[in-house]
Each structure stands twice: as C-alpha cells, then as structure tokens.
C-alpha cells in the first residue's frame, strides 16, 4: 500500500454518529477483531477481549444509554440513525498489560478495517458500563473500556482547521459534521537534523 492511500484511508476514518440501516454479520465483526488481534500490544500481553453484538434489542439498549456527540447540544440520535452493530472492548484484569495503549492501537485497526469495508465506526467511552455488565453477564475481571458502534455512515464529515484553539466538533450550516484538527506545524515542537 502506498503512503498516500493509507493517509486517505485515515482521513476518511472518522467517528460517525448517524448511521443508515444495514445488516452486518458476526463474521464481518470477527474479521475486524482479527485485525486488532495482530496489532502491537504493550509487553505483548494482549489483555483485550471483545463482545460482538448484532442482536437488535441489545443494539437499541446500548444506543439509548450511551452519550452521543456531547458537543452537539441540539442533536440526539434518532432510532433510524442507530448503528447496525457494536463491538464492546474489554480489559481482562487478570492479564498484566497496559490496556489503554492496546485499546488505542486496536481501535485504530478496527476503524481502518471498517472503513476499508465501507463501514464507519464511533468510539464510545460513554458506553454505559453497568448496562454492558448486565446485558453480557460480565465477571469482575472483565472491565468495559469502550463501545464501538459500527454501521454505514449517514452523514458527511470533513476535517477543518482549528480556529481560536477550539477543537470541539460541530455541524455547519449544511449539516456537515466538521472535525477541527491542529496544523502539523503546531504539533512538531522540534526538529533535529
């Protein structure tokens, strides 16, 4: 794969909050987890576990109890905009790893894999962890890290320049979801040749 193709895939891989109805199979979710499975893991301990959800009543409950797009105060997700599936990412506390590092790496692999399948995702740290524990009868050693909503995007998303140090996403007058990103020059604080 060429660098330009990877950059384009990453730029298109945005968190989506509005989805179209689309059937997603457990097999497709397994393929995404297979990508995450082979990513880097701190100390190679691999403490992450996953729950794959396509059951409609569980999707409804997870969607209704999560906090969606908290920067968008005048919007709530409608029933027709719900994702088609979820992946619940868990930390197995019996394994001495660094789950937060692994979670970031794994989420990016899942996100890029989904985009390559023409699907979109949304990472939800706001997934209701108590609801997850009850729905999936989780033992104490499994800690819910994030929920990953998956479906076909129903919204347009574009990257925009950060203005006045404000990185809050917003919807513009055309209802396009705008995601401010800092300039490269702001991120690199030194170059040593």
Model pLDDT, residue 135:
96
CA-based nearest residue to 115, from 192, 191, 6: 6
Model pLDDT, residue 94:
97
**Whole-number Å distance between alpha carbons of 65 and 63:** 6
**Whole-number Å distance between alpha carbons of 7 and 13:** 10
Local confidence pLDDT in tens for the 193 residues of the chain = 899 998 988 988 889 999 999 999 999 999 999 999 999 999 999 999 999 999 999 999 999 988 887 778 777 888 899 999 999 999 999 999 899 999 999 999 999 999 999 999 999 999 999 999 999 999 999 999 999 999 999 999 999 999 999 999 999 999 999 999 999 999 999 999 9
Query: What does 20-76 look like in DSSP terms, one character per residue?
Result: E-----HHHHHHHHHHHHTS--GGG---EEEEEE--HHHHHHHHHHS---TT-TT--
The H-or-E segment that residue 179 falls in is strand 177-181
Model pLDDT, residue 25:
97
CB 142 within 8 A of CB 79: no
Model pLDDT, residue 73:
78
The H-or-E segment that residue 170 falls in is strand 170-171
Query: How many Cα neighbours within 13 Å face the side chain of 178?
Result: 14
pTM (2 d.p.): 0.92
Model pLDDT, residue 75:
76
Model pLDDT, residue 62:
95
Model pLDDT, residue 66:
87
């Amino acid at each position: 794969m060429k660098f330009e193709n990877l950059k384009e895939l990453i730029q298109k891989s945005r968190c989506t909050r509005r989805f179209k109805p689309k059937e997603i199979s457990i097999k497709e979710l397994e393929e995404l987890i297979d990508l995450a499975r082979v990513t880097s893991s701190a100390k190679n301990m691999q403490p992450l576990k996953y729950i794959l959800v396509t059951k409609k009543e569980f999707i409804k409950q997870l969607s209704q109890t999560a906090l969606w797009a908290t920067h968008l105060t005048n919007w709530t997700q409608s029933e027709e905009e719900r994702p088609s599936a979820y992946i619940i990412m868990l930390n197995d506390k019996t394994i001495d790893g660094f789950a937060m590092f692994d979670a970031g790496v794994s989420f990016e692999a899942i996100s890029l894999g989904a985009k390559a399948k023409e699907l979109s995702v949304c990472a939800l740290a706001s997934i209701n962890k108590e609801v997850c524990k009850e729905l999936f009868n989780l033992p104490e050693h499994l800690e819910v890290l994030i929920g990953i909503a998956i479906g076909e995007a129903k919204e347009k998303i574009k990257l925009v320049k950060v203005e006045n140090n404000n990185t809050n996403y917003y919807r513009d007058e055309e209802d396009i979801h705008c995601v401010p990103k800092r300039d490269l020059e702001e991120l690199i604080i030194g170059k040593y040749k």
